[in-house]
Amino acid sequence: MVTTAQLLHTILHGNIQQNASKMNQYRAYGAVFTVRSKSDFTAAGVKGSIVTSLDTLIAHAPTLSHFTPNIYRTYTYKDHQKNYVAGFEERHLKQINTFVVDIDTTKHSLPQMLLACLDHSIGIPTCIVASDRGYQLYFALNEPLFISNDQHFKTLHIAKRIARNIKHSLQMIDADQYCNDFGFFRLPTATNVVHAQLDQTYSLQQLIDWSMRYDDDLQQTMYMPKNAHKTSHTTSAWFEALVHAKHIKGCKGQLGRNNTIFTLALACFADDWDQTRTYDFLDELNSRFANPLPHKMVQTIIQSAYSGKYSGPSTTYIYALLDEYIPNHTIRVESTTNTWYKHKKARTERTRSHYNEWEADVEQYIMSKLTDTEPFIWHTQKQLCEALQMPQSTLNVLIKQSTAIMKKVTGKGRNAKTGWTTRTAFMRHTIHTVKQQKQNYTYYIQHYAKNKEEEQTYTTQTNRQVYAINTS
């Protein structure tokens, strides 16, 4: 069982001071806002406290109901009596530690919520907080995303896009779409957390990649007709500007070399450049950076762009890169969203077959063969390829790239067996197994207690009978 201290350490990353009496004068700490009850959110303002140390927050956690899990750099009280707090505006954010989704109903079970996160969103939450009226799902970052006011809060803009997509992806479990992205949420404690997996945190790059895929998936059924106008990315003003941008490096909370190479690679992919041409072009560009990426990393980024999971670069991230590296630009990025329509050519008619389609085929095949008691199907790679009429080379690439398909090998040599399952099926089996174990344990405890009671009653009656015989 996790403790309140472990939960708050994981979420806050030590970025409020540990102890108020041992403040490091050379480090700029932030603060969190707290309230004792939901009724403290009043028309006159928020009645609460400002907490600047982790020890204080942990000590007072049992008496607090809500707090701001994301840290603010500006904080104050509205009145001389220090009853009402002020400063919890997005422009005053110092860093983002976690994305929180509010589920304002209790009709969904814990397994249903976990599977929804696994199937439709970024993944398993770091923790889930329960209340009388619903749940709050915390998706913690492994490193904080620092917010600055450079270029009109571009990092905040990206974070809000990610927050919006996470909430949108969980509509099926009634995620509140209009909840404040970075406001007050229930404070996680050892008593109100119903699920905790503190090693399940997310990197900024994971979230950006997922958010870009999600944006793309919303339009995944849209394909360009032959006679429709198609925007050329590689001859556009934004493409030229990024190619000639200087001092692209990046740091924590900032889009950098990886994102630039990836965005340009997606543009090349969308314009039907072959992968070799794209690599030659971007490898030369990378060599001009003041701090070039390793060649192997450039290859990996380009392979990801050509994996078939993306249809092209995202306008949101193009603007973010332009804001970062092209000062005072006035470049307009032409969107192709309105020129695509809902007709899809057969896979055999396309110039390249998308890996996400093969992935869907493998998932569908595995799910059709699974049984209620066994989370794996046991096939050799050859058998699986033959069943799906899939090239062996495609399966090899798919195994390396896919996060949805799981492979398990048991035994060695001739006795080796290869098992296949999907992440969803395996998680569902695990949740079912744990639930069954809990039910069995409850059944055992209830019947053990009942048998003990009957045994004690029988022993008492027997002792009385023996006593009666001995005294007669």
Query: How many other C-beta atoms can be found within 10 angstroms of the C-beta atom of residue 125?
Result: 26
The H or E element containing residue 284 is helix 275-287
Going by the DSSP 8-state scheme, the letter that residue 406 receives in this structure is: E
- Pairing of β 405-410 and β 417-422: antiparallel
The three-state secondary structure class of 393 is helix
Separation between Cα atoms, residue 169 and residue 117, nearest integer Å: 8
Confidence label for 100 from pLDDT (cuts 50, 70 and 90): very high
Strand boundaries in 172-247, DSSP class E: 185-186, 193-196
* Weakest-pLDDT range from 78-87, 330-339, 376-385: 330-339
Separation between Cα atoms, residue 100 and residue 122, nearest integer Å: 12
- Pairing of β 41-42 and β 185-186: unpaired
Say if residues 35 and 47 touch (Cβ distance below 8 Å): yes
Radius of gyration of the chain (CA): 28
Q: How many CA atoms lie within 13 A of 412 on its CB side?
A: 0
Helix 257-270 with 295-305: angle, nearest 10 deg: 40
**Which two three-digit tokens encode residue 68?**
């701001």
What DSSP string describes 82-126?
--EEE---GGGEEEEEEEEEEE--S-S-HHHHHHHHHHHSSSS-S
* Weakest-pLDDT range from 177-191, 209-223, 316-330: 209-223
Separation between Cα atoms, residue 102 and residue 43, nearest integer Å: 22
Q: Is the pLDDT of residue 337 over 60?
A: no
The predicted structure's pLDDT at residue 259: 84
Backbone CA torsion sign across 266, 318, 11, 55: positive
Q: Which residues are paired to 341 by β-bridges?
A: 223
Q: What are phi and psi of 99, to 5 degrees?
A: -105, 130
The CATH T-level fold of domain 4-211 is DNA primase, PRIM domain (3.90.920)
Confidence label for 371 from pLDDT (cuts 50, 70 and 90): confident
Separation between Cα atoms, residue 109 and residue 111, nearest integer Å: 6
User: How many Å is the maximal CA-CA distance in the chain?
Assistant: 111
Confidence label for 472 from pLDDT (cuts 50, 70 and 90): low
**What is the residue extent of each domain of the chain?**
4-211, 223-339, 355-424
**Which two three-digit tokens encode residue 351?**
């110039």
Q: How many CA atoms lie within 13 A of 416 on its CB side?
A: 9
Q: Which residues are paired to 45 by β-bridges?
A: 42
Q: Is the pLDDT of residue 184 over 90?
A: yes
Cβ density class 127-144: b for 16+ within 10 Å, e for less:
bbbbeeebbbbbbbbeeb
- Surface-to-core class of residue 57, CB atoms within 10 Å of its CB (0-12 exposed, 13-18 middle, 19+ buried): buried
pTM of the shown model: 0.53
Q: Which residues contact 308 (CB under 8 A, 6 or more apart)?
A: 352, 353, 354, 355, 356, 357
What's the pLDDT tens digit per position in 12-62?
987 677 766 555 544 467 899 999 999 999 878 899 999 999 999 999 999
Highest mean pLDDT pick, 25-29, 71-75, 151-155: 71-75
The predicted structure's pLDDT at residue 344: 40
Separation between Cα atoms, residue 52 and residue 22, nearest integer Å: 12
Q: Which residues contact 413 (CB under 8 A, 6 or more apart)?
A: none
Task: Provide, rounded to the nearest whole percent, the portion of the chain with pLDDT above 90.
Answer: 29
Confidence label for 135 from pLDDT (cuts 50, 70 and 90): very high
The predicted structure's pLDDT at residue 343: 34
Separation between Cα atoms, residue 449 and residue 296, nearest integer Å: 63
CATH number of 355-424: 1.10.10
Q: What are phi and psi of 428, to 5 degrees?
A: -60, -40
